[in-house]
Structure 1
Amino acid sequence: MQLTESPADRFAADLAALWPDDERTGPLGLAVSGGPDSLALMLLAHGALPGRIAVASIDHGLRPEAAGEVALVERLAGERGIRFNAFTLTPQPGNLQAQARAARYAALAEWARAAGLGAVATAHHADDQAETLLMRLNRGSGLAGLAGARASTTIEGSEITLLRPLLGWRKSALEAVVAAAGITPVRDPSNANPDFERAAMRERIAASSDWLDPAQLAASAAHIAEGWQAIAWYAGLDWDEMVAPDESAPGGVGYAYHANVPRVVAIETIMRIIAELGGHATRAEAARAWDRLWQGENASLGGVLAVPGVERVEKVGVLMRVWRFRPEPPRGKMN
């Protein structure tokens, strides 16, 4: 008779696959809001790593109920002897959800550094991945966007490892973990507000449950992520082998790119060249630049001018496309 794997054992295996024992340099930090997903993360991690986790809860200053939700997490963590920290953020103008997300991750990175944590984990799960994949398909996103949330990455702008060990878990399974512990989680009303794109997509998925399987959609996102990882590796190779400093550029500041790879790879290389020259370009902008350069037209993006050409490359002895990138001259001084 085969025994059913317990949620605790399943979580421990999922975490070990992302964060092996020999790579753990400190406790695991958890972002816990008081909702069912993050509370399940706390309960599962406490079972798998007793005494080796810490919890942070963030009040974004957007809802009056948030302070009480942070207090709930503090109480539940205290009952289990889990180290706890609370943070209050000041809302910034603009897209509230995007600004809150950026501020949340910045706060988590700062907390991880100050507390000496080995990594930070969030409670993104399979249903989240399914929603993200469908939203981005609907926007015509490229492979990087369709890959969804990565199971292991770093917090943007930092060196802090970010883990998402629940990407293979359905939301219903996480809610069952919390219910089994006798805990009533909080419910953020914005998660059910169809004015927000994600909430609207969640409603549509639920209405199509007879033929849409969120677990399989999440698996597809994981497969796309593997493909994207291969492209990122190839782009690194393209940079090492096909990009060189352009000594002919004014002041010697520029790069020559021997463009001979598929468009999706070249876009990554173009973005990196722009960044190395002090600019910034989105993938969409880099894609448009590739289109122009491939057609033999100059391209300007992120404060950088790219000029296409065809040259004989000595080391291979053949004619190749060579695109030269250099800081864009001030207006009125272009020759």
Structure 2
Amino acid sequence: MSTAIDPELVARFKAALDRLNPDGGKIGLAVSGGPDSMAMLLLAQEAIPGQFEVATVDHGLRPEAKDECALVLTACEERGVPCEVLTVKVGEGNVQAKAREARYAALDRWGKRRRIRTLATAHHANDQMETILMRLNRGCGTSGLSAIRDRTYVSRWRALVRPLLSFSRGELGKVVESARIAVAHDPSNADTSFERIQIRSALSQIDCLDPKGFSVSAQHMEDADMLCEWAVNMWLSDNEKTEKGGLRHPVPIARYMHFPILETQFRLMGATPRGRDLAQLMDQLRKGKGGNVAGILVKVDKGDWVYRPEPPRRTG
């Protein structure tokens, strides 16, 4: 089924897939029914027909979800694309985080069952711009400012690619319009209690910002972060010691190494604090003091920085 999509957009999408999925294996598209992911479905049908399958996830959080999944099923059936609805249960706590965790776990299981080693989501340049601004607001370092990376992993054997990071929301909207295809609209995208929606609302009043420029900057920041990570790992391999369930290393002489080393150590210990919290901890450490951030206790001892997980709290 032809969609009369701009050939330049199709070529750009195909080039992104060739780079992110160089072995040319079958790709699994995560399609929610929203305009961005439906545009990805349409682009894939033009660029790689017969080389992809679709999964759509019902989180069970809204009654409309079943209709949205049915919308995706219909669009796929009309185009002869294999599609499956994945039903998940979202745990208690941060709803968005728990839903994301459940979604990726379900997609990973689906990919394993369908023998698909590469999954694709519809994150685009506007998502990237919003993420960068949110993380700038939190005081993140190079790792955080790399924002949404175009290739990561949901598990050891399943890559997650984002081939639309060079596409703006407006371009994807035109893809959907040209196909005259029905799409779903998530009401949470209008909920201003979410930080991202507040940022998005503010950005809608500014015409001079280029989302694609933010995506290019994020790529440069990712390159810088990889170089920084290499330098930090080299330094730690020469200076770090393990003791009593924790880590110890001398205070780096170069002050510019302090923040990336802290960031790396927390990541290795399974913690992801906000940048501003790490910056405050860094200031305390430079004064010879310490602190507890994201469940990790850090202190200065005999000229070393010492890291240990916070002990479990007593109950009863």
Are 2:206 and 1:208 equivalent residues in the alignment? yes
1:58, CA displacement in angstroms? Answer: 0.7
Indicate if the aligned counterparts of 2:259 and 2:278 stay in contact, CA closer than 8 A. Answer: no
Greater C-alpha Rg: 1
1:109, CA displacement in angstroms? Answer: 1.8
Q: What corresponds to 2:96 in structure 1? A: 97
1:87, CA displacement in angstroms? Answer: 1.3
1:176, CA displacement in angstroms? Answer: 1.4
Match for residue 16 of structure 2 among 5, 14, 17: 14
- Cα distance in 1 for partners of 2:98, 2:312 equals 33
1:287, CA displacement in angstroms? Answer: 5.1
1:34, CA displacement in angstroms? Answer: 0.9
Indicate if the aligned counterparts of 1:238 and 1:269 stay in contact, CA closer than 8 A. Answer: no
Indicate if the aligned counterparts of 2:298 and 2:305 stay in contact, CA closer than 8 A. Answer: no
Query: How big is each residue's C-alpha offset from its partner over 1:113-148, in whole Å with a ceiling of 9 and x where there is no partner?
Result: 222212111001011111222223233333332221
Q: What corresponds to 1:72 in structure 2? A: 71
The within-5 A match list for 1:4-83 is 6-21=8-23, 24=24, 26-83=25-82
- Cα distance in 1 for partners of 2:231, 2:34 equals 40
Letter in 1 for 2:262: I
Which of structures 1 and 2 has the larger relative contact order (alpha carbons within 8 angstroms, sep 6+)?
2
Return 5+ residue gaps in structure 1 as ranges. Answer: 311-321
Distance 1:307 1:212, change over 3 A: closer
Normalised TM-score (structure 1): 0.78
* Worse-matched range after superposition: 75-84 or 287-296: 287-296
Match for residue 174 of structure 1 among 151, 155, 172: 172
1:293, CA displacement in angstroms? Answer: 4.2
Helix, strand or coil at the partner of 1:94:
coil
Q: What corresponds to 1:183 in structure 2? A: 181
Are 2:235 and 1:238 equivalent residues in the alignment? yes
Q: What corresponds to 2:219 in structure 1? A: 222
1:55, CA displacement in angstroms? Answer: 0.7
Match for residue 308 of structure 1 among 294, 301, 305: 301
Helix, strand or coil at the partner of 1:162:
strand
1:88, CA displacement in angstroms? Answer: 1.7
Query: How big is each residue's C-alpha offset from its partner over 1:163-214, in whole Å with a ceiling of 9 and x where there is no partner?
Result: 11100101111121122223121222221233332223222211212x2332
1:306, CA displacement in angstroms? Answer: 5.0
Indicate if the aligned counterparts of 2:247 and 2:306 stay in contact, CA closer than 8 A. Answer: yes
Are 2:127 and 1:128 equivalent residues in the alignment? yes
- Cα distance in 2 for partners of 1:328, 1:127 equals 38
- Cα distance in 2 for partners of 1:60, 1:298 equals 41
Letter in 1 for 2:249: Y
The two structures, once aligned, show a CA RMSD in angstroms of 2.9
Distance 1:13 1:300, change over 3 A: same
- Cα distance in 2 for partners of 1:324, 1:96 equals 34
Q: What corresponds to 1:318 in structure 2? A: none
1:91, CA displacement in angstroms? Answer: 3.6
- Cα distance in 1 for partners of 2:218, 2:298 equals 35
Q: What corresponds to 2:258 in structure 1? A: 263
Distance 1:118 1:196, change over 3 A: same
